[in-house]
Amino acid sequence: MKFTPHTIEETAEMLETIGVSQVSDLFSPIPDELKTEKFDLPVGISESETMKIMKKLAGKNDADMVCFLGGGVYEHFIPAAVDALSSRPEFYTAYTPYQPEASQGTLQVLYEFQTMMCELTGMEASNASMYDGGTALAEAALMALRISKKRSRIVLDGSVNPVQKEIVKTYLSFLEVEVADIEYGSDDSINNYLDGQTAGFIFQNPAFDGTVKDYTEINEKIHADKAVSVVSVYPISLGLIKTPGDMGFDIAVGDGQSLGNPLSFGGPYFGFMTTTMKHIRNLPGRIVGKTVDTKGRDGYVLTLQAREQHIRRQKATSNICSNQSLCAMNGLFYMSLMGEKGLMDAASLCKSKAEYAKSELAKVKGVKVADGETFNEFVVELSAKAEDVCLKLADKGILAGIPMNNYINDAENKLLVAVTELRTKQDIDTLVSEIGGAL
């Protein structure tokens, strides 16, 4: 493509063709009072001068703060090769190539992504990615309703992230569906909904407050009631804790941000969804399959397309077409580079460093660490408002965590702290010291 501007002759020829004498006539419908006749712009500057100005502006950002934020997205180490691979021109596009003529390379990458997500979650089938973790959870609720056709209730357990609960409720708000929301810390139990009317039960593991639980026995009860069990998982944790497949879940979803995608003010990230072969035809989104051509060569194709909106729009399992495949490729490259041992090491570091942080914070006067087995995230109750403490630490270059009062009731002194493999002993010691000084 040429990027040279039109010549005077070319412009005159085009104006003559459309019967206009000058370019300004093209804007004649716009009232004069809305036009800007003169732009007060400085004279042009060189590229090097422009870079200096931009660097000065960028220097105003607080980009190097020590981060203990979590709540669904986390700061993890990303090998440099991840971006080097995903930025290759063969892959670098925000658009999902879902036409039959999509390149074999792109289809193979998505197939390998699906394979690795199945291995990671212990499930049997995966799609080629979702928009993010929250919408993947909402799609899982819709999938549960499709599987349990004559049932019209979805139960949201207290373990689920409150933000993602709202996404699920929004998705279901225009359907004739009852959403039973078990609030965080509530005495309400899923046993109250095992009555043959519930289509799906939705959990999160690790929970929003970081606690880890084995849902095997709960899933047995759910399946005895012929309902669908769904879990939202933090993929890095699966390097250490029991997988959704091992616990007997029907559907596993999550946000793939922690797999090779940097924190970026909410996105773009990607969601993932895995399930059993029994339910694959109810799985939303693209699915890439492996086959052989007429010459016996391996080939990759979009399969089970009758489920999709470009084939059967009104009866489709979802309206997902252009989604987060580039971010999903980051996830594939990250998992490939880390390998099984690397993921286990990252998860172990997250766990051990979080345990160190818990033990040190428990020694601080005015800090109470919540009980329960956790992975890398935990709740502390402070003797002051969590929001005030966070503001004080932010002034010192520390993002101390998430004030839980923003998400649940009666929690103004509770702080959700996340620790990843990137946090050093010095980082944690500084956090402990500064929280003690802020109380």
Domain annotation covers residue 200: yes
pLDDT of residue 393: 97
232 and 361: one domain?
no
Complete DSSP assignment for 169-237: HHHHTTSS-EEEE--TT-S--GGGG-SS-EEEEEEEES-TTSB----HHHHHHHHHTT-EEEEEE-GGG
Domain annotation covers residue 147: yes
179 and 144: one domain?
yes
Domain annotation covers residue 423: yes
pLDDT of residue 203: 98
Instruction: Tell me the residue ranges of DSSP E strands in 53-177.
Output: 66-67, 125-126, 153-156
Domain annotation covers residue 46: no
Pair 333, 86: CB distance under 8 Å: yes
Amino acid at 77: F
Domain annotation covers residue 38: no
Instruction: Domain of residue 110: give its range.
Output: 80-335
Pair 421, 346: CB distance under 8 Å: yes
248 and 353: one domain?
no
Q: What is the pTM of this model?
A: 0.88
Q: What is the CA radius of gyration of the chain?
A: 26
pLDDT of residue 278: 97
pLDDT of residue 1: 55
152 and 209: one domain?
yes
Q: Which residues pair with 230 in a beta bridge?
A: 202, 251
- Look up the CATH number of the domain holding residue 116: 3.40.640.10
349 and 422: one domain?
yes
- Look up the CATH number of the domain holding residue 383: 3.90.1150.10
Owner of token pair 């941000």: 257
329 and 350: one domain?
no
281 and 230: one domain?
yes
At 338-367, the pLDDT tens digits run 999 999 999 999 999 999 999 999 999 999
Domain annotation covers residue 21: no
Owner of token pair 């669904």: 72
Domain annotation covers residue 323: yes
Last residue of a domain, one of 281, 311, 335: 335
Question: Shortest CA distance to 208 belongs to which of 354, 382, 402?
Answer: 402
- Which residues are CB-neighbours of 326 under 8 A, at least 6 positions away? 86, 91, 92, 93, 94, 268
259 and 322: one domain?
yes
Burial of 124 (0-12, 13-18, 19+ CB in 10 A): middle
Structure tokens at 404: 């839980």
284 and 191: one domain?
yes
287 and 424: one domain?
no
- How many domains does the chain divide into? 2
142 and 282: one domain?
yes
Pair 151, 198: CB distance under 8 Å: yes
Amino acid at 334: Y
Domain annotation covers residue 105: yes
256 and 270: one domain?
yes
pLDDT of residue 267: 85
pLDDT tens track of the chain, all 439 residues? 577 888 999 999 999 999 999 998 999 999 988 988 788 888 899 999 999 999 999 989 887 899 999 999 999 999 999 999 999 988 887 666 666 667 888 899 999 999 999 999 999 999 999 999 999 999 999 999 999 999 999 999 999 999 999 999 999 999 999 999 999 988 888 999 999 999 999 999 999 999 999 999 999 999 999 999 999 999 999 999 999 999 999 999 999 999 999 998 888 999 999 999 999 999 998 899 999 999 999 999 888 877 777 677 777 777 776 668 889 999 999 999 999 999 999 999 999 999 999 999 999 999 999 999 999 999 999 999 999 999 999 999 999 999 999 899 899 999 999 999 999 999 999 999 999 999 9
Question: Shortest CA distance to 344 belongs to which of 422, 259, 270, 241?
Answer: 241
CA 292 → CA 106, 113, 116, distances in Å?
17, 19, 21
Last residue of a domain, one of 335, 359, 387: 335
Last residue of a domain, one of 311, 335, 359: 335
